Amino acid sequence: MSKLVFILSIILITFAVIMFVVDFLPIDMFNSSNQEMYIKSVSSNSFSWVSYRVHALVLGIVLFALNKYTNLFGG
């Protein structure tokens, strides 16, 4: 159980960090075009994992800390 929680915490932290880094990448990064493209921010009712990146980061850090510094998960 302890290793599962550790692996889950690392996955959540990695996911959140990647989601934060993706925001800084240009849209047309791999295509060589002379035009600059920007993302237009539009409200949406659809589900997006990006909106949960802060939650994933906090949950990953909390699980990591609980796993490392307590004996809560039978480590």
Q: What tokens does 26 get?
A: 């240009």
The answer to whether 10 and 68 have CB atoms below 8 angstroms apart is no
- Tell me the whole-structure pTM to 2 decimals: 0.69
For the chain, the domains span 1-24+51-75
Q: What tokens does 42 get?
A: 């539009």
| pLDDT at 74 (0 to 100) | 73
Chain centroid to CA 22: 10
Q: Coil, helix or strand for 52?
A: helix
| pLDDT at 62 (0 to 100) | 94
Q: What is the pLDDT of residues 8-66, one digit of tens each?
A: 999 999 999 998 888 777 666 566 555 555 555 556 677 777 788 899 999 999 999 99
| pLDDT at 52 (0 to 100) | 84
The answer to whether 61 and 14 have CB atoms below 8 angstroms apart is no
